[in-house]
Amino acid sequence: MPASLDRARDFILRNARTLDRRRYEHHFEGASADSVLVALGAYRNPDGGFGHALEADLRTSASQPLFCEVALAVLQEIAAGPHPWAAEACAFLEGIAQPDGAVRTILPSALESPRAAHWQTDNWAEDSPNPTAGIAGALHALGVTHPWLDRATDWMWRRLEGRAFDEAHDLLGVTTFLSHVPDRPRAEPALAEVMAQLPAAAYFLPEPSEAYGLTALTFAPTPDAPTRPHLDDTQIQAHLDALEFDQQDDGGWPVAWQPPSEAALWEWRGTRTLEAVRTLRAWNRL
C-alpha cells in the first residue's frame, strides 16, 4: 500500500532514538529546533567532537570524523547557522587532520568498540574525499569560518583537479562540497563534471534494488537540491515509487545491510524511516 505518515510516526515514536524523535517532531509537528539541539548535545565530547555511536554502525563513544559529519548535517538540517558546536568540531578535526588538512573517516580508537562489518578496518585511502568533502560542504552551508576549513577546502580543490571518482559515497561527499563551497563560478562546472561520473560509480543503484547502495534520491532528497538538474527524471520517479511502497507492516522502513546489534538495527530503522518520510513529503508523495 502507499506510504502512511501515521504509521511512520507510530514507528518512530515507538522505536527511534531520541535524536530522531526530536527531528521528526521538528519537521512534522512544529517542535522547536532547540529540542533537536538538546538531543544532539548528548553526543558531544569535551574535545569538541561527537561520539557515542552517532552513526549507529560504529558503537564507540570516542569522537570520530564520521560522527562530526553526521552532527553537522543535523545542524544544517535545522538551519542552525554558524553554531558554536561547529567551530568546536573544527578544532577537534584540526587536531586529528593530516598535514594537508584531510581527515580519515574513523580513527584507530573506533576499532576498540563493536562495529558493523564495513567498519572493520582503518585502512582508508589517503586521498579519499570521504569524509573531508562532506564535512567541509556542511560547514560552508552553515556559514562557518575556521582555519581548518580553509585547509580542507584547499585540499578538496587540489583533489578535484583532473581526477575521477569511482565510488558513490565519495561522490556524495564531493557533491555536498561543491553544492555549498562559496566559489560558485568554480564549483558549478565541477559539480556537472563529477555528477557525470555517478552512473558508473560503485554502490550507485540506477534502478530500485534490495541491495545496499546509494540512489538518485540520496543525491537529491528534495527537488531543489543542487544536484537535481544532473539526475535522470525516470530514475528519480522509479526510486520514489519503490520508496513509497517499501514501508514495512510495522510502519518503518528496512535497512539493506547488517548493523552490529539489534539496538543498532532499530536505531538505523528509525533514522531511515525519518529520511523516507522527509523525502516522500519533499517530492509530494506523502
**Grid cell digits, residue 285:** 508523495
Q: What sections of 105-256 are H helices per DSSP? A: 132-142, 147-160, 168-180, 184-195, 216-219, 233-245
Q: Which of 43, 75, 76, 35 is nearest to 59 (CA)?
A: 43
Q: What b-and-e string marks burial along 176-215, b requiring 16 or more CB atoms within 10 Å of the CB?
A: bbbbbbeeeeebeebbeebbebbeebebbbbebeeeebbb
Q: pLDDT of the chain along its 286 residues, tens only?
A: 678 999 999 999 999 999 999 999 999 999 999 999 999 999 999 999 999 999 999 999 999 999 999 999 999 999 999 999 999 999 999 999 999 999 999 999 999 999 999 988 655 556 889 999 999 999 999 999 999 999 999 999 999 997 899 999 999 999 999 999 999 999 999 999 999 999 999 999 999 999 999 999 999 999 999 999 999 999 999 999 999 999 999 999 999 999 999 999 999 999 999 999 999 999 999 9
| Under 8 Å between Cβ of 206 and 213 | no
Question: Using CA atoms, how far apart are residues 29 and 92, in angstroms rounded to an integer?
Answer: 34
Question: Using CA atoms, how far apart are residues 93 and 104, in angstroms rounded to an integer?
Answer: 10
Residue type, 18: T
| pTM for the predicted model, two decimal places | 0.96
Question: Using CA atoms, how far apart are residues 199 and 186, in angstroms rounded to an integer?
Answer: 23
Which residues touch 70 (CB under 8 Å, ≥6 apart)?
50, 54, 55
What region does 53 belong to: left with phi over 0, alpha with psi -120 to 50, or beta?
Answer: left
Domain ranges, ordered by start, for the chain: 43-202
Q: How far is CA 51 from the centre of its chain?
A: 15
